[in-house]
A and B are shown apart, each in its own frame.
Chain A
């Protein structure tokens, strides 16, 4: 099965406020999607609805399909073997790193039939690949923000999902860790073939790293396409109410984007 996630006409309203309006999209195996939009546009809500964190008890219309089947037919453990969600992390996690990483195998464990050996091997493998061995004997709360983000990312991968949903993993990180996390995500996507749907405010990351970009505004999906199409359209200016200019990095020839501070809608003239 190639299609990991398919969303059909999804709408969500909480306390009579429409958070998501008639959203449809699909993500295939190995694809990297970024989800951008202003604050309050519904990015986190969309990820949470997909994961099942915002329950269907709220006003919820539409369908979420995982590997071609309606999500409601799966139990929570089965869902977690297909998708997982990495929220914006808080630092009040006092578990040891190795304990925390092992907890990520929960979805694959059965009380009466757990393969501890396999779990240990996967943890060991990811620890080596992501080079986080030195952190194992420390508690998560004792790590810096960037280190914590790395550990949470490793934990999500140890869970072996087919699709990883991430909510602004780069927020509050310094440029060094932003770069490291971006690189890790790229490796997870390219080498481990994990599909990614990432909500971010980092437009450059969206342009450079993703196969497709989704733009949300006021709960509506107003763009679903590749970076070249985005460059040609004027959609970013409409969404963020500011002009942007595109350019190319002379060293790598990679495209990048900057808010146009000298344009009419900018503050300086």
Chain B
């Protein structure tokens, strides 16, 4: 009897909070395009709404990937940025850009830009490297995880700089645009390209919320409860790398969303991934829309790339988490 009452009470309030957040997200998406100066409906339709929706999807996906990494690595400091996965994916884009391999690949009715593929392999290489190093040397200890993430991130950043230095002016500017991270889209193309990948990853994560819950308790407990840890990890690595690759190809490595948002969400809604996944993804989406609106309207004469804002906010937050952990 006690079990039932307590669980129901908990879950009820969590559902209410989720509904509240969804309402908040819808309001944000509707209001933000109107913030700042604009002349005529065209600006809204071609620039503002696509930009807000793309920002929402990017924040949604980055938050999801951070959350998945934190469960896999049983470490709240893991996110695409701190694990060097963003740098890996950026290197993939830079590589495609440098060698002028940009083209569209048609798979059935889908048109996939080759930058997605470069970015995917870059992300997979870095996540595999960090995973192998931490597993071999320290069983997912924070310091090893972060140091290997930083080392791999720096190594890839070095390679990006090299490619940038050797590139012609157009490629160099293209690469620079990605490494900062920003949402400068025209029309709904980016949004529509990202949408299926984000939706599929979200559904996959939500269907596997129990597996993610177990993973977050560590390998020993997960295996003892009957989870095929290696299989689910591989599935999650592939789907997360794909998700990051697509977001980074479109928006560049926007930092720290995957770190800040899941952390705040846990404080509000708890650790159960059944609620945490929808909550932190929607919050992530809204947060990036909010940050992007600030980036767009902060100065009257220029628009800042949103990556600058998230990194300025995320850096100190990361330090706070690190010190708290100590």
Contact = CB atoms under 8 A, between A and B. Distances in A.
Interface in A41-67: 48, 51-53
Interface in B1-57: 1-4, 6-7, 10
Interface stretch (A31-39, A73-81, A210-218, A232-240): A73-81
A106 B210 contact: yes
Contacts of B4: 120, 124
Nearest to B1: A124
Given A53-B219, A98-B3, A111-B207, A106 B225 contact: yes
A84 B3 contact: no
A213 B194 CA distance: 60
B271 A103 contact: no
B224 A51 contact: yes
B223 A51 contact: yes
B231 to A, nearest CB: 9
B227 A76 contact: yes
Nearest to A156: B224
B10 A96 contact: yes
Interface in B223-243: 223-229
Task: Give the most central of A90, A99, A127: most B CB within 10 Å.
Answer: A99
Interface in B102-156: none
Contacts of B298: none
B2 A136 contact: yes
Interface string A90-112: 10011110110001101101010
Contacts of B213: 95, 99, 103
Interface in B189-245: 207, 210, 213-214, 217-221, 223-229
A99 B272 contact: yes
Interface string A141-159: 0000000000000001001
A93 B226 contact: no
Nearest to A84: B224
Contacts of B315: none
A77 B226 contact: yes
B158 interface: no
Nearest to B76: A92
Contacts of A95: 213, 217, 270-272
A159 B3 contact: no
Contacts of A156: 224
A51 B219 CA distance: 12
A49 to B, nearest CB: 12
A168 to B, nearest CB: 13
28 contacts: A51-B223, A52-B223, A53-B220, A53-B224, A76-B226, A77-B228, A81-B226, A85-B220, A86-B224, A90-B218, A93-B217, A94-B270, A95-B213, A95-B270, A95-B271, A95-B272, A96-B270, A96-B272, A98-B7, A99-B7, A99-B272, A106-B210, A106-B226, A120-B3, A136-B2, A136-B3, A137-B10, A159-B225
Given A85-B223, A94-B266, A107-B226, 16 more contacts: A52-B223, A53-B220, A76-B226, A77-B226, A85-B220, A85-B224, A87-B220, A96-B6, A98-B10, A99-B213, A99-B272, A103-B210, A103-B217, A107-B225, A127-B3, A136-B6
Interface of A: 48, 51-53, 75-81, 84-87, 90, 93-96, 98-99, 103-104, 106-107, 109, 111, 120, 123-124, 127, 133, 136-137, 156, 159
Interface of B: 1-4, 6-7, 10, 207, 210, 213-214, 217-221, 223-229, 266, 270-272
